[in-house]
Amino acid sequence: MRPRWFTPWLYLLAPLALLVTFTYLPVLDMIGYSFTDWDGLSPTSDVVGLHNYTDLFTRPELFQVFTVSLFYLAGSAVQIAAALYFATVLSFRTRLRTLFKGILFFPYLINGVAVGFVFLYFFQPGGTLDTVLHQVGVGPRLWLGDPDLVNPSLAAVSVWRFMGLNMVLFIGAIQSIPPDLHEASALDGANRWQQFRHIIAPAIRPIIALSAILAISGSLSVFEIPFIMTGGANNSETFVIQTVKLAFTFDKTGLASAAAVVLLLIVLAVTWVQRRLFPDERVELT
Amino acid sequence: MRAVKYVCLVAASAVVLVPLVAIVLTSLRTSREMADQSPLAAPADWFNLHNYVVAFTDGHMLRALGNTAFILFFSVLGTVVIGSMTAYAVDRFRFRFRRVVLAGFLVAALVPGVTTQVATYQIVNGLGAVDTRWAPILLYLGTDIVSITIFLQFVRSIPVALDEAARLDGAGSFTIYRRIILPLLRPAIATVVIIKGVAVYNDFYVPFLYLPDDSLGTISTSLFRFKGPYGAHWEVISAGAALVIIPSLLVFLALQRFIYSGLSAGATK
């Protein structure tokens, strides 16, 4: 019984319908909306050309969300460095290894709203952090109320939440290195740093590159934690919070779409650059 | 050198645990204790579950659990069916436009879901699905490229000779999919169930946008809305947060090894 030509399409019917309806159609629609002044509700809308785009790039209050991303980007760098350190340490003999690994990883599994509340309480004036810092003589600060402190505080929550995930991924990669490589280098008298530098780092380069790329697109699309904790107040508004507000609170679907197109283009550009820099680490699909 | 290592590990563990411990301690306090104690002081009664009862009933946690379970079940089941069928069709058949289909899924992986929500909302609205539990299910199914890639990798590792032997015995393509491919995909299914399960249970963005009706609150949105009426009552809000974290902790303790290996399998794509 040879399969007929349409057999594979029977299996692909549902997946392709979903793919087109929820990925490709929205992208096309969004590009269309971005050239109009549509409010998302009324049956009519006018084509306004590039007006929404010029708005985005010339009104500083709309553009300022990009500077917020920089804090999260810096947080990602800290996160990847810490994850590399702990992954290396926990890949070798260490007392209570499983326990440490479990503790550091667990935040990743916690519900985002719960994480938001945990840290809202943690950063409260006179809250947990102030209490702990009081022991070492640091006075209370307005961690979420001070426009200079709010973004570092929120970025730190991101690091707290996602460092363990990066660490577990790095541990997985390190464990796929043949163990005799470590033994051979230890016999040659290499210390831990030299082992990391010459064996571990090159072997897990693809996953580090992948983490870096996810960190960049992640930093641009932060939403949950700042939305739950501050609602975007005090300079903490991110790109996605702004887009959601424009579209669903202020009914500026056209402007929100233009913002989303810009975000999409940045993410695609970053991915493209990464593919050019690491061509051999392409995701294999075929 | 070794001392530095343990100092770092203990310090990092403290950073992870202190905020969580503060929440647990607070959730066990009475509202009177809240006024005059530091966040890290021990509660007078370690078994004071009053706040948990309030959070559970006033936060409508039972309803939220039900809604989340419903969405979780259909999303995970659908993801497994759709991902495995796509992988089977694309790997085991040679047909026109096969490469186009593959590229279609690959390129979609580059489009982050959050960017297209403005337009996606209009489509879901047009389908009449906003404020039904099918909206998040459809979205979780429609945008999951990761699981398709995981399945594709596993299907590729199953020898084609198995299919051919079955075909000689007269098995049709669906019999091969159901009797040979699916059972052999079990490790991949476990991986996808874990990754998808964690993502759906914890997601806030999609239920927040698509299920504005109170009665359709999921774990995430119910907890979020619960904060409003209890704004300053941190002992009750802490109990709510702890309630939501407990299932994750239990699942983690039970499935630790599978979660680690599942995530590694998912990340290398």
Q: List pLDDT tens digits, range B188-247.
A: 999 899 889 999 999 999 999 999 998 999 999 999 998 877 777 889 999 999 999 999
Higher pLDDT, A282 or A39: A39
Position A285 pLDDT exceeds 70 = no
Is A140 part of the contact surface with chain B (CB cutoff 8 Å)? no
What pLDDT is attached to residue B6? 93
Residue B180 lies in a domain: yes
Nearest CA in chain B to A254: B118
- Beta carbons of B88 and A3 less than 8 Å apart: no
What pLDDT is attached to residue A176? 85
Beta bridge mates, A47? A36
- Cβ pair B49, B27 in contact under 8 A: no
- Beta carbons of A8 and B121 less than 8 Å apart: no
Rounded-to-integer distance, Cα A81 and Cα A59, Å: 36
Is A94 part of the contact surface with chain B (CB cutoff 8 Å)? yes
Structure token digits, residue B231: 């704004």
- Cβ pair A150, A262 in contact under 8 A: no
Residue listed under structure tokens 């500026």: A252
Give the whole-number percent of chain A exceeding pLDDT 70. 97
**Count of domains for chain B:** 1
Q: How far is CA B171 from the centre of its chain?
A: 36
Give the whole-number percent of chain B exceeding pLDDT 90. 58
Structure token digits, residue B90: 């694309």
Q: How far is B105 from chain A (nearest CA, A)?
A: 7
* Span B42-54, average pLDDT: 86
- Beta carbons of B118 and A30 less than 8 Å apart: yes
- Beta carbons of A1 and B170 less than 8 Å apart: yes
Domain hosting B252: range is: 49-268
Position B15 pLDDT exceeds 80 = yes
Position A2 pLDDT exceeds 80 = no
* Span A64-75, average pLDDT: 92
Is A47 part of the contact surface with chain B (CB cutoff 8 Å)? no
DSSP code string of A209-265: HHHHHHHHHHHHT--HHHHHHTTTTTTT--HHHHHHIIIIIS--HHHHHHHHHHHHH
Is B142 part of the contact surface with chain A (CB cutoff 8 Å)? yes
Measured between beta carbons, the chain B residues lying within 8 angstroms of A16 are: 101, 104
- Beta carbons of B121 and A247 less than 8 Å apart: yes
What pLDDT is attached to residue B227? 82
Measured between beta carbons, the chain A residues lying within 8 angstroms of B110 are: 267-268, 271
Q: B269: pLDDT confidence band, cut at 50, 70 and 90?
A: very low
Higher pLDDT, A130 or B78: B78
- Cβ pair A22, B138 in contact under 8 A: yes
Position A283 pLDDT exceeds 90 = no
Q: State the helix-helix crossing angle for B117-126 and A253-277, rounded to 10 degrees.
A: 120
Measured between beta carbons, the chain A residues lying within 8 angstroms of B177 are: 11
Residue B166 lies in a domain: yes
Residue B4 lies in a domain: no
Q: How far is B217 from chain A (nearest CA, A)?
A: 13
The class level of CATH for A48-277 reads: mainly alpha
Give CA separation, B116 vs A28, B112, B238, in Å.
Answer: 10, 7, 34
pLDDT 10s digits, A160-195: 999 999 999 999 889 888 888 877 887 887 787 888
What pLDDT is attached to residue A1? 54
- Beta carbons of A131 and B39 less than 8 Å apart: yes
What pLDDT is attached to residue A284? 45
Residue B232 lies in a domain: yes
pLDDT 10s digits, B76-104: 999 999 999 999 999 999 998 999 998 88
* Span A7-27, average pLDDT: 93
Residue B158 lies in a domain: yes
Give the whole-number percent of chain A exceeding pLDDT 90. 44
Rounded-to-integer distance, Cα A157 and Cα B221, Å: 20
Domain of B73: which CATH number? Answer: 1.10.3720.10
Rounded-to-integer distance, Cα B268 and Cα A284, Å: 10
Q: How far is CA A59 from the centre of its chain?
A: 26
What pLDDT is attached to residue B266? 66
Measured between beta carbons, the chain B residues lying within 8 angstroms of A102 are: 252, 256
- Cβ pair A56, A262 in contact under 8 A: yes
Vertex A9 angle, CA B139 and B199, to 5°: 25
Beta bridge mates, A36? A47
- Beta carbons of A12 and B101 less than 8 Å apart: yes
